[in-house]
């Protein structure tokens, strides 16, 4: 006999698949006991650098019931962004694959709205909030708790047969559902990501010093880039994929099927020279709907010059 919790969980997962999500897992909305001391230590070590927002809402980051009143379930969703093609000029400054297409925040928010609407139509009066990497929610911890993968040594979520090139989002709702069980860690003795990190940002297995990460420097840091980092960026001008590119589990990555994640037609053809001579007009055209707009033209120009010097 299928109970309501199981039936509703199945309904939600089927609809998530229909909306294009790679997978969907569900866990109980409760305090993240294991993550609490880890997050505290990470912040104490100043591993967040200038990302002061990481210090805010400490209690909300660890307890979804403080974010959503009477919340019972955290629905975690993965959306693939692995591209079918990458930048053609191997000598050109590099862009993280997640930023090739339209800004993922908007793409995923639309899908989450549809999923919420579906839940309310099919199940009844359910309240909650959708989160896409823009609120104090520990995405990776919830995805792991929901059985969607394990946190790898590079601190990204990893899934067998799929790898790690996907976005993570959540719906936190006031509905009791059947919960999934966590999966096991399959990193084994592999240290590929630790060995390959150009700035040694993975300071120990499963711990990344965010203030040493190329993504931090090229996206989050608003000041001048530190001169001691010259020559260490491995040609990355926005983000960095090194730890994911070398991960053996990403041999299983398959191209996404989301048209909105396809790059602007000119993006992949741009040569090293094109990037070094990029104008604000070209920036606006190529990155019109992209997450790259976060750095603004001046930020991207700063990063490209830093690689050149």
Catalytic residue annotation: 133
Pair 201, 208: CB distance under 8 Å: yes
CA 106 to CA 212: how far, in whole Å?
28
Residue 53: alpha-carbon gap to chain centroid: 17
Radius of gyration of the chain measured on its C-alpha atoms = 20
Query: What whole-number distance in Å separates Cα of residue 130 and Cα of residue 120?
Result: 14
CA of 253: how far to CAs of 158, 165, 282, in Å? Answer: 11, 7, 31
For the chain, helix (H) and strand (E) counts, in that order, are 11, 10
277: Cβ contacts below 8 Å, ≥ 6 apart: none
- Residues 120, 131: contact at Cβ < 8 Å? no
Helical (H) or strand (E) element with 207: strand 207-208
Measure CA of the first residue to CA of the last residue in the chain; give whole Å: 68
Q: Are strands 202-204 and 207-208 parallel, antiparallel or unpaired?
A: antiparallel
């Amino acid at each position: 006999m299928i109970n309501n919790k199981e039936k509703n969980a199945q309904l939600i997962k089927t609809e998530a698949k229909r909306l294009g999500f790679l997978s969907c897992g569900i866990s109980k909305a409760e305090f993240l006991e294991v993550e609490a001391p880890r997050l505290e230590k990470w912040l104490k070590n100043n591993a967040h650098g200038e990302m002061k927002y990481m210090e805010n809402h400490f209690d909300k980051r660890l307890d979804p019931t403080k974010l959503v009143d009477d919340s019972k379930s955290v629905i975690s969703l993965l959306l693939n962004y692995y591209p079918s093609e990458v930048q053609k000029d191997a000598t050109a400054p590099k862009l993280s694959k997640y930023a090739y297409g339209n800004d993922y925040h908007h793409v995923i928010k639309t899908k989450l709205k549809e999923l919420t609407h579906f839940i309310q139509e099919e199940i009844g009066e359910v309240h909650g909030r959708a989160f896409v990497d823009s609120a104090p929610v520990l995405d990776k911890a919830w995805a792991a708790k929901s059985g969607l993968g394990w946190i790898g040594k590079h601190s990204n979520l990893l899934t067998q047969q799929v790898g790690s090139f996907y976005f993570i989002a959540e719906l936190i709702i006031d509905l009791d559902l059947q919960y999934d069980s966590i999966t096991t860690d399959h990193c084994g003795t592999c240290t590929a990501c630790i060995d390959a990190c150009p700035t040694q940002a993975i300071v120990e297995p499963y711990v990344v010093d965010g203030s040493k990460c190329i993504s931090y420097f090229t996206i989050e840091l608003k000041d001048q880039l530190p001169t001691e980092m010259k020559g260490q960026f491995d040609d990355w001008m926005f983000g960095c994929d090194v730890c994911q590119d070398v991960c053996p589990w990403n041999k299983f990555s398959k191209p996404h099927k989301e048209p909105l994640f396809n790059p602007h037609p000119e993006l992949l053809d741009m040569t090293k020279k094109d990037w070094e001579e990029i104008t604000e007009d070209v920036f606006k055209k190529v990155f019109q709907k992209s997450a790259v707009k976060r750095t603004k033209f001046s930020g991207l120009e700063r990063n490209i010059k830093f690689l050149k010097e």
